[in-house]
Amino acid sequence: MPRILNREPDRGGQVCGYQIQVGGWHNDGQKFCGEPKAAGRYFCQEHHDWVLDECGEIRMAPGNAIGR
């Protein structure tokens, strides 16, 4: 089972933090990925691949750490 968080982790940290939508757009449906970032990625490997697939590129605001 992947690790799931109920609040957004520190963007400058080493946790993926990808927002997973559960049960629509209600506030209580917010979940964030708690997996460690993949080396050289802004997300874990799964979400890195997923975002690339959906968006064709990864665009992140400054201050987001990259996985070590």
Residue with tokens 């992140």: 60
Residue 18, φ and ψ in degrees, nearest 5:
-65, 130
| Choice between 2 and 62, CB closer to Zn ion | 2
Choice between 20 and 27, CB closer to Zn ion = 20
Nearest distance from C-beta of residue 26 to Zn ion, angstroms: 21
- Residue 4 is encoded by which pair of tokens? 């799931």
- Rank residues 18 and 63 by Cβ distance to Zn ion and give the closer one: 18
Interface residues toward Zn ion, by CB under 5 A: 16, 18, 33, 35, 43-44, 47
Phi, psi of 50 (to 5 degrees): -65, -45
